[in-house]
Amino acid sequence: MAVSLGLEDVFIKYTGLTYIDGNAGVLRYRGYDVNDLVEHTSFEEVCYLMTRGELPSKKQLEEFKASIKEHYALPEHVLELISVLPRDADTLTMMETAFASLSSGDYKWSKENDSKQVPVILGENLGIISNIYRHKMGMDLKNPDPKYDYAEAFLMNCFGKADEKKVMAMNAALVIYVDHEVPASTTAALVASSTLSDMYSCITAATAALKGPLHGGAAEAAYKQLLDIGTPDNVENWFKTNILDGKKRLMGFGHRVYRTYDPRMKIFKRLATELDQTEEQKKYFEIAKKLEDLGVKEFGAKGIYPNTDYYSGIVFNEIGFPIYMFTTLFGFSRVLGWLAHVTEYVEEEERLIRPRAVYTGPDKRDFIKIEDRK
Protein backbone atom coordinates (compact mmCIF):
# COMPACT_ATOMS: atom_id res chain seq x y z
CA MET A 1 0.00 0.00 0.00
CA ALA A 2 1.41 3.40 -0.99
CA VAL A 3 2.03 6.01 1.69
CA SER A 4 2.51 9.70 0.92
CA LEU A 5 5.24 10.69 3.35
CA GLY A 6 4.58 14.16 4.70
CA LEU A 7 1.11 13.96 3.12
CA GLU A 8 2.70 15.40 0.00
CA ASP A 9 0.08 16.09 -2.70
CA VAL A 10 -2.69 14.70 -0.46
CA PHE A 11 -5.77 16.95 -0.53
CA ILE A 12 -7.53 17.16 2.85
CA LYS A 13 -10.16 19.86 2.29
CA TYR A 14 -11.94 22.08 -0.21
CA THR A 15 -11.23 25.77 0.22
CA GLY A 16 -12.32 29.10 -1.17
CA LEU A 17 -9.56 30.93 0.69
CA THR A 18 -6.19 30.65 -1.02
CA TYR A 19 -5.13 29.72 -4.54
CA ILE A 20 -1.51 28.82 -5.33
CA ASP A 21 0.03 28.13 -8.72
CA GLY A 22 3.45 26.80 -7.78
CA ASN A 23 4.76 26.72 -11.33
CA ALA A 24 3.74 30.26 -12.24
CA GLY A 25 4.49 31.76 -8.81
CA VAL A 26 0.92 32.96 -8.19
CA LEU A 27 -0.72 33.51 -4.79
CA ARG A 28 -4.29 34.77 -4.42
CA TYR A 29 -6.55 35.29 -1.39
CA ARG A 30 -10.22 34.79 -2.32
CA GLY A 31 -9.28 35.49 -5.95
CA TYR A 32 -7.24 38.66 -5.29
CA ASP A 33 -3.55 38.68 -6.16
CA VAL A 34 -1.39 39.08 -3.06
CA ASN A 35 0.54 41.91 -4.73
CA ASP A 36 -2.65 43.97 -5.16
CA LEU A 37 -3.69 43.35 -1.56
CA VAL A 38 -0.28 44.36 -0.21
CA GLU A 39 -0.29 47.49 -2.35
CA HIS A 40 -3.83 48.68 -1.76
CA THR A 41 -5.36 47.23 1.43
CA SER A 42 -4.95 47.23 5.17
CA PHE A 43 -4.52 44.05 7.17
CA GLU A 44 -8.01 44.56 8.60
CA GLU A 45 -9.49 44.59 5.10
CA VAL A 46 -7.79 41.27 4.38
CA CYS A 47 -9.08 39.92 7.70
CA TYR A 48 -12.60 40.83 6.60
CA LEU A 49 -12.03 39.34 3.15
CA MET A 50 -10.72 36.04 4.48
CA THR A 51 -13.40 35.55 7.14
CA ARG A 52 -16.43 37.18 5.48
CA GLY A 53 -15.74 36.35 1.83
CA GLU A 54 -15.63 39.83 0.30
CA LEU A 55 -13.68 43.05 0.69
CA PRO A 56 -15.58 45.40 3.01
CA SER A 57 -17.27 48.71 2.27
CA LYS A 58 -15.99 51.72 4.24
CA LYS A 59 -18.81 51.32 6.76
CA GLN A 60 -18.25 47.60 7.13
CA LEU A 61 -14.51 48.15 7.58
CA GLU A 62 -14.96 50.77 10.29
CA GLU A 63 -17.36 48.53 12.19
CA PHE A 64 -15.00 45.57 11.84
CA LYS A 65 -12.02 47.63 13.01
CA ALA A 66 -14.00 48.81 16.04
CA SER A 67 -14.84 45.22 16.98
CA ILE A 68 -11.15 44.29 16.81
CA LYS A 69 -9.94 47.34 18.75
CA GLU A 70 -12.44 46.61 21.50
CA HIS A 71 -10.37 43.53 22.31
CA TYR A 72 -6.83 44.95 22.14
CA ALA A 73 -7.04 44.94 25.95
CA LEU A 74 -6.17 41.51 27.31
CA PRO A 75 -7.85 39.82 30.28
CA GLU A 76 -5.78 40.48 33.40
CA HIS A 77 -4.88 36.82 33.86
CA VAL A 78 -3.25 36.72 30.41
CA LEU A 79 -1.06 39.73 31.16
CA GLU A 80 -0.11 38.20 34.51
CA LEU A 81 0.70 34.89 32.86
CA ILE A 82 2.99 36.51 30.27
CA SER A 83 4.70 38.55 32.97
CA VAL A 84 5.68 35.49 35.04
CA LEU A 85 7.05 33.44 32.15
CA PRO A 86 10.87 33.23 32.07
CA ARG A 87 12.16 36.17 30.05
CA ASP A 88 14.53 33.90 28.16
CA ALA A 89 11.70 31.57 27.10
CA ASP A 90 11.02 31.02 23.41
CA THR A 91 8.52 33.61 22.16
CA LEU A 92 6.37 31.01 20.41
CA THR A 93 6.15 29.12 23.69
CA MET A 94 4.85 32.34 25.26
CA MET A 95 2.34 32.74 22.43
CA GLU A 96 1.22 29.14 22.78
CA THR A 97 0.79 29.52 26.55
CA ALA A 98 -1.16 32.77 26.27
CA PHE A 99 -3.64 31.40 23.73
CA ALA A 100 -4.07 28.17 25.70
CA SER A 101 -4.98 30.25 28.76
CA LEU A 102 -7.87 31.82 26.81
CA SER A 103 -9.30 28.46 25.79
CA SER A 104 -12.94 27.86 26.60
CA GLY A 105 -14.18 24.28 26.78
CA ASP A 106 -17.80 25.18 26.13
CA TYR A 107 -17.43 26.91 22.76
CA LYS A 108 -20.21 26.01 20.32
CA TRP A 109 -19.37 26.27 16.63
CA SER A 110 -21.86 28.17 14.48
CA LYS A 111 -21.58 30.78 11.76
CA GLU A 112 -22.99 33.42 14.11
CA ASN A 113 -20.65 32.54 16.99
CA ASP A 114 -17.66 32.23 14.69
CA SER A 115 -18.32 35.63 13.09
CA LYS A 116 -18.38 37.25 16.53
CA GLN A 117 -15.36 35.36 17.87
CA VAL A 118 -12.93 36.12 15.02
CA PRO A 119 -12.48 39.89 15.71
CA VAL A 120 -12.19 39.13 19.43
CA ILE A 121 -9.26 36.80 18.81
CA LEU A 122 -7.63 39.16 16.31
CA GLY A 123 -7.68 41.93 18.90
CA GLU A 124 -6.32 39.67 21.63
CA ASN A 125 -3.67 38.44 19.21
CA LEU A 126 -2.26 41.96 18.90
CA GLY A 127 -2.22 42.36 22.67
CA ILE A 128 -0.50 39.01 23.18
CA ILE A 129 2.29 39.38 20.63
CA SER A 130 3.13 42.99 21.46
CA ASN A 131 3.28 42.18 25.17
CA ILE A 132 5.46 39.14 24.55
CA TYR A 133 7.93 41.54 22.94
CA ARG A 134 7.61 43.99 25.83
CA HIS A 135 8.23 41.21 28.35
CA LYS A 136 11.28 39.94 26.45
CA MET A 137 12.67 43.48 26.42
CA GLY A 138 12.14 43.96 30.16
CA MET A 139 9.37 46.55 29.78
CA ASP A 140 6.17 46.74 31.79
CA LEU A 141 3.23 45.14 30.02
CA LYS A 142 0.44 47.35 28.73
CA ASN A 143 -2.56 47.10 26.44
CA PRO A 144 -2.34 48.55 22.92
CA ASP A 145 -3.95 51.93 22.27
CA PRO A 146 -7.26 51.49 20.37
CA LYS A 147 -6.90 54.86 18.65
CA TYR A 148 -4.46 53.18 16.25
CA ASP A 149 -5.22 50.71 13.47
CA TYR A 150 -3.73 47.23 13.60
CA ALA A 151 -0.18 47.54 12.23
CA GLU A 152 0.43 50.92 13.84
CA ALA A 153 -1.08 49.86 17.17
CA PHE A 154 1.25 46.86 17.21
CA LEU A 155 4.39 48.89 16.54
CA MET A 156 3.35 51.62 18.98
CA ASN A 157 2.86 49.06 21.75
CA CYS A 158 6.21 47.46 20.97
CA PHE A 159 8.37 50.53 20.42
CA GLY A 160 6.39 53.57 21.54
CA LYS A 161 6.77 55.04 18.06
CA ALA A 162 6.10 54.05 14.47
CA ASP A 163 7.03 55.98 11.35
CA GLU A 164 5.01 55.71 8.16
CA LYS A 165 7.49 53.45 6.33
CA LYS A 166 7.59 50.93 9.16
CA VAL A 167 3.81 50.89 9.53
CA MET A 168 3.53 50.27 5.79
CA ALA A 169 6.07 47.46 5.96
CA MET A 170 4.43 45.87 9.01
CA ASN A 171 1.03 45.99 7.33
CA ALA A 172 2.51 44.42 4.19
CA ALA A 173 4.22 41.66 6.19
CA LEU A 174 0.96 40.85 7.95
CA VAL A 175 -0.85 40.56 4.61
CA ILE A 176 1.92 38.47 3.04
CA TYR A 177 1.93 35.88 5.81
CA VAL A 178 -1.88 35.58 6.20
CA ASP A 179 -2.31 32.17 4.63
CA HIS A 180 -0.69 29.60 2.40
CA GLU A 181 -3.27 26.83 2.00
CA VAL A 182 -2.55 23.92 4.40
CA PRO A 183 1.06 23.82 5.63
CA ALA A 184 1.92 22.00 8.86
CA SER A 185 0.54 24.59 11.29
CA THR A 186 -2.77 25.00 9.45
CA THR A 187 -3.11 21.23 9.22
CA ALA A 188 -2.60 21.00 12.99
CA ALA A 189 -5.31 23.61 13.50
CA LEU A 190 -7.65 21.70 11.20
CA VAL A 191 -7.07 18.42 13.03
CA ALA A 192 -7.98 20.13 16.30
CA SER A 193 -11.03 21.83 14.79
CA SER A 194 -12.27 18.56 13.31
CA THR A 195 -12.81 17.30 16.87
CA LEU A 196 -14.91 20.47 17.49
CA SER A 197 -12.32 21.83 19.89
CA ASP A 198 -12.53 25.60 20.48
CA MET A 199 -10.78 28.26 18.39
CA TYR A 200 -8.14 29.06 21.02
CA SER A 201 -7.14 25.41 21.26
CA CYS A 202 -6.90 25.24 17.46
CA ILE A 203 -4.51 28.22 17.51
CA THR A 204 -2.51 26.58 20.29
CA ALA A 205 -2.16 23.39 18.22
CA ALA A 206 -1.11 25.40 15.18
CA THR A 207 1.45 27.39 17.16
CA ALA A 208 3.03 24.17 18.41
CA ALA A 209 3.49 23.05 14.79
CA LEU A 210 4.84 26.46 13.79
CA LYS A 211 7.80 26.15 16.18
CA GLY A 212 9.78 23.80 13.97
CA PRO A 213 12.68 25.21 11.94
CA LEU A 214 11.31 23.61 8.75
CA HIS A 215 8.15 25.71 8.97
CA GLY A 216 7.94 28.96 10.91
CA GLY A 217 11.56 28.96 12.01
CA ALA A 218 12.92 29.23 8.48
CA ALA A 219 13.13 33.06 8.57
CA GLU A 220 15.35 32.94 11.65
CA ALA A 221 17.54 30.26 10.08
CA ALA A 222 17.86 32.19 6.82
CA TYR A 223 18.86 35.38 8.64
CA LYS A 224 21.41 33.54 10.81
CA GLN A 225 23.08 32.36 7.57
CA LEU A 226 23.75 35.98 6.69
CA LEU A 227 25.26 36.60 10.11
CA ASP A 228 27.42 33.52 9.69
CA ILE A 229 28.70 34.70 6.31
CA GLY A 230 29.62 38.06 7.84
CA THR A 231 30.71 40.07 4.79
CA PRO A 232 29.78 40.21 1.09
CA ASP A 233 33.33 39.13 0.19
CA ASN A 234 32.83 35.84 2.05
CA VAL A 235 29.65 34.74 0.26
CA GLU A 236 31.27 32.57 -2.44
CA ASN A 237 33.64 30.85 -0.03
CA TRP A 238 30.84 30.21 2.49
CA PHE A 239 28.57 28.85 -0.22
CA LYS A 240 31.22 26.45 -1.53
CA THR A 241 32.28 25.27 1.93
CA ASN A 242 28.83 24.86 3.47
CA ILE A 243 26.41 24.24 0.62
CA LEU A 244 28.36 22.68 -2.25
CA ASP A 245 30.99 20.75 -0.30
CA GLY A 246 29.29 20.49 3.10
CA LYS A 247 25.91 19.53 1.59
CA LYS A 248 24.07 21.68 4.12
CA ARG A 249 20.57 22.99 3.46
CA LEU A 250 20.44 26.51 2.02
CA MET A 251 17.88 28.04 4.37
CA GLY A 252 15.27 30.28 2.78
CA PHE A 253 15.44 28.28 -0.47
CA GLY A 254 12.94 25.74 -1.75
CA HIS A 255 9.26 25.17 -1.15
CA ARG A 256 6.95 22.17 -1.21
CA VAL A 257 4.63 23.94 -3.68
CA TYR A 258 6.60 26.61 -5.57
CA ARG A 259 8.91 25.59 -8.40
CA THR A 260 9.81 29.19 -9.23
CA TYR A 261 10.25 32.40 -7.27
CA ASP A 262 7.87 32.67 -4.32
CA PRO A 263 5.83 35.84 -5.05
CA ARG A 264 5.92 36.77 -1.36
CA MET A 265 9.73 36.76 -1.42
CA LYS A 266 9.72 39.36 -4.18
CA ILE A 267 7.56 41.66 -2.06
CA PHE A 268 9.78 41.26 1.00
CA LYS A 269 12.86 41.98 -1.11
CA ARG A 270 11.28 45.21 -2.35
CA LEU A 271 10.22 46.20 1.17
CA ALA A 272 13.78 45.73 2.40
CA THR A 273 14.97 48.37 -0.07
CA GLU A 274 12.19 50.83 0.83
CA LEU A 275 12.90 50.86 4.56
CA ASP A 276 15.74 52.93 6.00
CA GLN A 277 18.83 50.75 6.42
CA THR A 278 21.81 51.14 8.73
CA GLU A 279 25.24 50.39 7.31
CA GLU A 280 25.11 46.96 8.94
CA GLN A 281 21.66 46.25 7.48
CA LYS A 282 22.89 47.33 4.04
CA LYS A 283 25.74 44.86 4.41
CA TYR A 284 23.43 41.94 5.21
CA PHE A 285 21.10 42.88 2.36
CA GLU A 286 24.08 42.83 -0.01
CA ILE A 287 25.10 39.40 1.35
CA ALA A 288 21.54 38.15 0.80
CA LYS A 289 21.49 39.32 -2.81
CA LYS A 290 24.83 37.68 -3.62
CA LEU A 291 23.79 34.46 -1.90
CA GLU A 292 20.48 34.51 -3.78
CA ASP A 293 22.32 34.75 -7.11
CA LEU A 294 24.55 31.78 -6.24
CA GLY A 295 21.62 29.72 -4.97
CA VAL A 296 19.49 30.32 -8.06
CA LYS A 297 22.42 29.56 -10.36
CA GLU A 298 23.06 26.27 -8.56
CA PHE A 299 19.52 25.11 -7.77
CA GLY A 300 17.14 27.02 -10.05
CA ALA A 301 17.18 24.31 -12.72
CA LYS A 302 15.81 21.93 -10.08
CA GLY A 303 12.92 24.28 -9.30
CA ILE A 304 14.51 25.46 -6.05
CA TYR A 305 14.23 29.23 -5.57
CA PRO A 306 14.12 31.66 -2.63
CA ASN A 307 10.94 31.41 -0.56
CA THR A 308 9.12 34.00 1.54
CA ASP A 309 11.41 33.52 4.52
CA TYR A 310 14.57 34.45 2.64
CA TYR A 311 14.16 38.25 2.93
CA SER A 312 11.46 38.51 5.63
CA GLY A 313 13.99 38.47 8.47
CA ILE A 314 15.79 41.42 6.90
CA VAL A 315 12.51 43.36 6.80
CA PHE A 316 11.61 42.47 10.38
CA ASN A 317 15.08 43.53 11.50
CA GLU A 318 14.78 46.84 9.65
CA ILE A 319 11.44 47.47 11.36
CA GLY A 320 13.26 46.97 14.67
CA PHE A 321 12.73 43.39 15.80
CA PRO A 322 15.43 40.98 17.04
CA ILE A 323 15.86 37.52 15.53
CA TYR A 324 13.95 35.76 18.31
CA MET A 325 10.74 37.52 17.23
CA PHE A 326 10.81 36.53 13.54
CA THR A 327 8.86 33.26 13.81
CA THR A 328 6.36 34.76 16.23
CA LEU A 329 5.73 37.64 13.81
CA PHE A 330 4.92 35.00 11.20
CA GLY A 331 2.48 33.46 13.69
CA PHE A 332 1.06 36.91 14.51
CA SER A 333 -0.20 37.17 10.93
CA ARG A 334 -1.00 33.50 10.38
CA VAL A 335 -3.53 33.47 13.25
CA LEU A 336 -5.94 34.96 10.71
CA GLY A 337 -5.30 32.16 8.22
CA TRP A 338 -5.81 29.54 10.92
CA LEU A 339 -9.10 31.13 11.94
CA ALA A 340 -10.27 31.36 8.34
CA HIS A 341 -9.47 27.71 7.66
CA VAL A 342 -10.94 26.23 10.83
CA THR A 343 -14.19 28.18 10.47
CA GLU A 344 -14.45 27.22 6.79
CA TYR A 345 -13.84 23.57 7.63
CA VAL A 346 -16.22 23.30 10.57
CA GLU A 347 -18.98 25.34 8.95
CA GLU A 348 -18.87 23.70 5.51
CA GLU A 349 -17.31 20.23 5.59
CA GLU A 350 -16.61 19.17 9.17
CA ARG A 351 -15.50 15.58 9.51
CA LEU A 352 -13.19 14.13 12.13
CA ILE A 353 -9.70 13.93 10.64
CA ARG A 354 -8.55 10.41 11.39
CA PRO A 355 -5.96 9.05 8.93
CA ARG A 356 -4.56 5.52 8.92
CA ALA A 357 -1.06 4.08 9.09
CA VAL A 358 0.40 1.12 7.21
CA TYR A 359 1.56 -1.44 9.76
CA THR A 360 5.15 -2.68 9.25
CA GLY A 361 5.77 -4.44 12.60
CA PRO A 362 6.07 -8.16 13.42
CA ASP A 363 3.26 -10.68 12.92
CA LYS A 364 1.36 -12.10 15.91
CA ARG A 365 3.71 -13.22 18.68
CA ASP A 366 3.02 -15.50 21.63
CA PHE A 367 3.20 -13.73 24.97
CA ILE A 368 6.00 -14.88 27.33
CA LYS A 369 5.76 -14.21 31.05
CA ILE A 370 8.64 -12.18 32.44
CA GLU A 371 10.05 -15.05 34.47
CA ASP A 372 10.35 -17.14 31.28
CA ARG A 373 12.04 -14.49 29.15
CA LYS A 374 15.76 -14.93 28.43
255 is catalytic: yes
Give the single-character DSSP code of 55.
P
Concatenated DSSP letters of 182-228: S-HHHHHHHHHHHTT--HHHHHHHHHHHHTSTTTTTHHHHHHHHHHH
Residue 338 near residue 186, CB atoms below 8 Å: yes
At 26, is the secondary structure helix, strand, or coil?
strand
> CA torsion angle for 169, 171, 173, 174 (degrees, to 10)?
170
What count of other Cβ atoms lies within 10 Å of the Cβ of residue 358? 7
135 is catalytic: no
Q: 269-294: string of b/e by CB count within 10 Å (b at 16+)? A: bebbeebebeeeeebbbebbebbbeb
Catalytic residue among 255, 262, 366, 372, which?
255
Distance between CA atoms of residues 260 and 371, nearest Å: 62
Burial of residue 218 (CB within 10 Å: 0-12, 13-18, 19+) is buried
Q: Indicate which residue of 309, 341, 366, 372 is catalytic.
A: 309
| Strands across the sheet containing 18-21 | 18-21, 26-29, 32-33
Cβ–Cβ under 8 Å, residues 286 and 245: no
The Cα–Cα gap between 318 and 227 comes to 15
Task: Name the residues annotated as catalytic.
Answer: 255, 309
